[in-house]
Amino acid sequence: MKCGSSLCTLNVGGRRFSYTAELMRRLPLSRLSRLLRCVSESELLELCDDYDRDSNEFFFDRHSEAFSFIMLYVQHGKLRFVPHMCELSFYNEMLYWGLESSDLQLCCQRRLDDRMSDALVHFFPEEELPRGADILESPWLERMRRTFEEPTSSLAAQLLASVSMLFVVISMVMLCASTLPDWTALEQQRIIEAVCIGWFTAECIIRFLVSRDKWDFIQRPLNIIDLLAILPYYISVAMTSLTGENSQLQRAGVTLRVLRVMRIFWVIKLARHFLGLQTLGLTLRRCYREMVMLLVFICVAMAIFSALAQLLEHGLDLEAGNHDYASIPAACWWVIISMTTVGYGDMYPMTVAGRVLGGLCVVSGIVLLALPITFIYHSFVQCYHELKMRSARCGRSLSGEFVN
């Protein structure tokens, strides 16, 4: 073995690179510097795939073009992605040779962050298993966690999800029926609500007890929604017992009505069981930049068209002008319903110039609203396919469990 010889050859994916041993020691690639510190051939084979003693050649079964770009970084100090290569694959090559994401140029770092976000972020993120959890955690606890957290993981999980959905539907029906003027079944309504809330409370407590990371469980969005939907019932029961159902305290009565209506958040709980709602939530999470851009477009157009509409309809003739456009904030309402093509007709321009402006407002609204839709649509399709494949994998595991 001639590791200490003056010339070393690196065979990376069939492409040879020759460097002196001194240069390899100074390269900011930890794998190559560790390679020269090896004292035996067994240590060498832990860092490379093969070694030729006669030619002092090290073989690496890695991407040759990616290594070429990494060596360009060593020479010139700028590291960028290989064109037409997956960002995650190139990042994997970087980690293999001993580089980090901070070595990338800023624009490539943003691309890598977006790519990793698309690949790893889910509306229902998988909980990472902490070290030693597979030893300390009992199998039945893990099975119960999957039963409550993953509705498609087993037959029992599907039955539990079906029961939970049934209680959600019953709770929503009772909430809607209670607002009818001739609704009289108040006592039956209280009993049904108590049963539904009891089920939801027990389910939430069990999911909290069997979760691996309690703090992460509290921070998850759907769990926060569950808590916001459960607490109003107990608060309203406590306030009713303290102030009475027919209390003269108007504030308490308004608070009770607000707390009862907050139970509508249970509808979002259906997102655990419906792929469409999961896709919607994941799309909104990934496309927040496009959504912000859409809001910026609307706000800029509202500022321009509302100011012009107020001037043309009211500002030029304060006495006989259209008083619906007496102020710019009032004109903003007309702009937003015109740009979204809703057109309530509660206010409309009277002058010729105002009608021309209204036509431009409608056309520009259609164009501005359509610009970010393409990005959101493609993200929606991608999220749908990802969640569908995930559901299919869980379905295959469920079929195997059912057969066994």
Question: Nearest 5°: phi and psi at 340?
Answer: -85, 5
Over residues 16-33, mean pLDDT: 77
Over 80: is that where the pLDDT of 307 sits? yes
Token pair belonging to 375: 């990005």
Q: Please give the Cα distance from 183 to 162 (Å, whole number).
A: 28
User: So what's the pLDDT on residue 393?
Assistant: 59
Instruction: Categorize the per-residue pLDDT at 357 as very low, low, confident or very high, splitting at 50, 70 and 90.
Output: very high
Domains belonging to the chain, first-starting first, are 7-123 (3.30.710.10), 139-273 (1.20.120.350), 280-389 (1.10.287.70)
Residue 49 exposed, middle or buried by CB count within 10 Å (0-12, 13-18, 19+): exposed
The answer to whether 114 touches 358, Cβ cutoff 8 Å, is no
Query: What is the pLDDT, as a whole number, of residue 381?
Result: 82
Pairwise pLDDT comparison (335 vs 4), residue with the higher score: 335
Average pLDDT of the residues in 48-75: 84
Average pLDDT over residues 303-316: 88
12-30: average pLDDT:
79
Q: What is the pLDDT of residue 361?
A: 92
Question: Would you state the structure tokens that stand for residue 223, as one six-digit string?
Answer: 């769990």
Q: How far apart are CA 226 and CA 207, in angstroms?
A: 11
Closest CA to 14 of 54, 65, 56: 65
- β 50-52/57-60 pair status: antiparallel
What pLDDT does 249 receive? 45
pLDDT attached to residue 132: 45
Higher pLDDT, 253 or 230: 230
pLDDT bin (cut points 50, 70, 90) of residue 395 is low
pLDDT in the model for residue 379? 80
As a whole number, mean pLDDT of residues 153-182 equals 81
Average pLDDT over residues 139-143: 77
Q: For 366-372, which contacts have Cβ atoms below 8 Å and span 24 or more sequence positions?
A: 366/339, 366/341, 368/294, 368/297, 368/298, 368/301, 368/339, 369/294, 369/297, 369/298, 369/339, 369/340, 371/294, 371/297, 372/290, 372/291, 372/293, 372/294, 372/297
Strands lying side by side in the sheet with 50-52: 15-20, 7-12, 57-60, 50-52
More confident residue, 266 or 340: 340
* pLDDT tens digit sequence for 233-251: 787 777 777 765 554 444 4
Separation of alpha carbons 144 and 130, rounded Å: 18
pLDDT of residue 125: 42
Whether 399 has a pLDDT exceeding 50, the answer reads no
